[in-house]
Amino acid sequence: MRRIFYFLLDLLLLRAWHIKRAIRLWKKSHTNEACILDAGSGFGQYTFFMSKQSKKWHIRGVDVKTEQIEDCNYFFVRIGKQSQVKFRYADLTSYVNESAFDLILSVDVMEHIEEDVKVFQNFYESLKKGGMLLISTPSDQGGSDVHDSHEHSFIDEHVRDGYNIVEIEEKLKKGLSDRTLNATDISRLIGEHLDKAKEKVMQDTSELINEEAKPSENQSCMDCGSKLKKTKKETSR
C-alpha cells in the first residue's frame, strides 16, 4: 500500500518529476558509494526513490515528526533496506554531521522553518567537499496557493508563503558568507548542467536527422530494382 501511496504522491506533485530528474543527473557522476541526507524526509518517498537508484548509496532520513520516522523505519525494514536506509529524529536548526554527505536533499521543508539561514549553514557544514545541496520550496508567486500580497499560505505549518529567487539567493549568501560556496557558484553550476543538457538534445536531434536521411531498406531495394531494369533495357538495345 505504501508503494501505491508514493506513486500517487508523484502523480499529484509536479515537482517530483523535477527532483527525480536532478537526482538522476547527479547519479551519472556518483556511481560509487555515496552518503545522502534526506533533510525533512516526511513520508520517505524520495528516500525510497533514491534507494532504488543505487545499492551503494547510504541514505539517512531526518524529520521532527516521530510518527513518520517510526513508519518509515518499519516500512524500509519490511522491504529489506534497513542496512541501506535509516531514519531518525532531528531538528535541522541544530543538526550538523560535519563533512558527512555527498548530497543533501530538502523538499518542501524550508518554508516551515523560521531560522532558515541557520539551516543553510548546517547543511554546508554537513556536506563533503564538492557535495551538492538540492532544495525544492514553494514560490512566493503562488507556490502555496498564494497569488496576492495580502494572501497567506493555506498550510498552517508554513512560517512563510515561499521564496522568490532573489530572497533565496540572498539567504544562501548570508548563510555561507564565510564559505567558498555561494549563490553565484550555484547559478554557474546550474548553467553548466543546462548547457550540457542542451548539447545532448542537439546531438540527439542531429543523430535523428541523419538516421531519417538514410534510405530505408525498402527504398534501397526499389533503387536496386530500377537500376537493374535500366541495365536490362540498355543491354537489349
User: Alpha-carbon distance 153 to 111, whole Å?
Assistant: 10
**Residues 48, 125 share a domain:** yes
Residue 189 counted as domain residue: no
pLDDT band at 144 (very low <50, low <70, confident <90, very high): very low
**Residues 156, 60 share a domain:** yes
Inter-CA distances, 179 with 172, 174, 182, 185, 229, Å = 11, 10, 7, 11, 77
**Residues 151, 90 share a domain:** yes
Per-residue pLDDT of 81-128, as tens digits, reads 999 999 999 999 999 999 999 999 999 999 999 999 999 999 999 999
User: What is the chain's mean pLDDT, rounded?
Assistant: 79
Give me the helices (H) in the chain, please: 2-12, 15-27, 45-53, 66-78, 116-126, 165-175, 183-213, 217-236
Say what the pTM is: 0.69
**Residues 206, 151 share a domain:** no
Residue 187 counted as domain residue: no
CATH code at position 98: 3.40.50.150
Q: Are the beta carbons of 146 and 152 closer than 8 angstroms?
A: yes
User: Alpha-carbon distance 66 to 87, whole Å?
Assistant: 10
**Residues 151, 87 share a domain:** yes
List the domain range (segments joined by +) for residue 120: 2-181
